[in-house]
Amino acid sequence: MATILIAEDEAHIRELIGLYLRNEGFAIEEAANGVEALAVVERTEIDLVILDIMMPRMDGWDLCRQLRGGERDIPILMVTAKGESGDKVKGFQLGTDDYLTKPFDPVELVLRVKAVLKRYRIASSQVIRLGSIVLNRRTFKVVRGEEELTLPLKEFELLFKLASHPGQIFTREQLIVQIWGMDYEGDDRTVDVHIRRLRVRFAAEKLHFRIETARSLGYRLVASR
């Protein structure tokens, strides 16, 4: 049973979210601000954090930064009244996995929670299948049917990162840090070059997956069901 932390200063919204998630079998922890939320994360094994941006003492932006700067990789879903595109961009740049604007449908929130958790379960795997393509993170091999493909290491790591979180948007900055490292001094447009190469290399697999450009944000891999 997954444990969800709801960081929200409005008690009735915490109660509403908690009601729907408990009905789906989730365990719930609550916090009224970012400081309380961090304390919960330190003492409890949390599988996903639902956070509001506008909270006292520590807002959602700072909470997201703190969570992403920690040792544990915890999925984050922002639920907020801030619906402007700039706020969404900032949320994804800070590392949120999904973004839902108030007022929201509680049923949709539950579905998004389940989708984010599913992506993280996929991400913990070392082998990913995309149609006829199999990516093996242990051996860094790509197999298509009986054929073994050779990919440059950075192309493999980029494809594996995107495939590990299907549907999740990664900014160029996030991909540079996670694939090339903090000390990389080149142009972040190198991500665009590698994405183009992957699209050409796997053009025949478009029925099974595709790499989409999220305008003004970055890239995401969409896998066919």
Band the pLDDT of 144: cuts 50, 70, 90.
confident
Radius of gyration of the chain (CA): 18
pLDDT number for residue 21: 93
Q: Which of 214, 219, 221 is nearest to 85 (CA)?
A: 214
The whole-model pTM stands at: 0.60
pLDDT per position as a tens digit, 24-37: 989 999 999 999 99
Alpha helix (H) residue ranges in 138-212: 153-164, 172-175, 190-201
Q: Give the chain's mean pLDDT.
A: 87
Query: In the chain, what percentage of residues exceed pLDDT 90?
Result: 38
Is the pLDDT at 1 greater than 80? The verdict is: no
Q: What is the DSSP letter of 219?
A: E
Q: Which helix (H) or strand (E) holds 91?
A: helix 85-94
Tell me 113's DSSP state. H
Express each pLDDT in 49-63 by its tens digit: 999 988 988 888 899
SS3 (DSSP) at 109 = helix
Within 10 Å of residue 197's Cβ, how many Cβ atoms? 16
Measured CA to CA, the distance from residue 40 to residue 108 in angstroms comes to 25
Strand ranges in the chain using DSSP code E only, listed in sequence order: 3-7, 27-31, 48-51, 76-80, 98-101, 127-130, 133-136, 141-144, 147-149, 170-171, 209-214, 218-223
* Domains of the chain, each with CATH number or no CATH: 3-123 (3.40.50.2300), 127-223 (1.10.10.10)
What does the block give as tokens for 72? 């544990």
Q: Which residues pair with 80 in a beta bridge?
A: 101
Q: In this predicted model, what pLDDT tens digit does every residue of 88-128 receive, in sequence order?
A: 888 888 888 888 888 889 999 999 999 888 877 766 667 88
Beta carbons within 8 Å of 43's beta carbon, 6+ residues apart: none
